[in-house]
Amino acid sequence: SRHMHEFGTTREQLAAVAVAARQWALLNPAAWEKKPLTIPEVLGARMVSYPFTVRDICLVTDGGGALFLTSAERAKSLKKPPAYVLGCGQSTTHANISSMPDLTVTGALTSGKAAYQMAKLGASDVDAVELYDAFTINTILFLEDLGFCKKGEGGAFVSGGRIAPQGSLAVNTNGGGLSYCHPGMYGLFLLIEAVRQLRGECGPRQVKDCEVALAHGNGGVLSSQATVILGTQATL
């Protein structure tokens, strides 16, 4: 609501995030949601807490995943090509939401800068973006704070299918927490999807020529943020 008040962000723009996630999910055979979704359907769904309807909020599902972290040298002998950690950063800004310094700015601003600096890359170098979309506003906030658009422009940025399949920026390519799955600790799935994209394993949802992927996790009530930039062998 604060973002809407300050920048004119609309419920339709929030709904565009959910619609894009669903379009990606329809390309993922493992995704929980199997039916198309429209902006009017998001707006007309059961209201949970204004401005969020149930379609603005992540799923509740079972699920699990795992990652192996090893040295680049050891990874050379593995059966599948590795994804290399190019940069990472983290930030914790508050515990209670009432103590958040600015309700429209998250710690992703700090964690993202650290990750970009370590990787010697910028937002324009990223081919696939995997964001913790607990709510539709999260995607907008993180796209702004991670430098993909200016603060306050996230609502307009996600409109018109820009972050959907065939759009100019591939965001939450597995369907995200909004339409793929959300077993309570979704952050691991961001890394898994980033690795799969870098390996070219994603079939119909594969991002063409994907060499750099960004995974961004969120914890608490927008309290803690962590950004990891991964790359293929070609990025080293």
Q: Which residues are catalytic?
A: 132, 180
Count CB-CB contacts under 10 A for residue 33.
20
Cβ–Cβ < 8 Å for 150, 92: no
The rounded distance, in Å, linking the Cα atoms of 147 and 166 is 21
Token readout for 155 is 């609502």
Tokens standing for residue 157: 């940025």
- Cα dihedral across residues 162, 166, 172, 178: positive or negative: positive
Positive or negative torsion for Cα 169, 218, 222, 16 = positive
> Tokens 């914890």 appear where?
219
Residues 100/94, Cβ–Cβ less than 8 Å: yes
Amino acid at 49: S
Q: 144 and 152 in contact (C-beta within 8 Å)?
A: yes
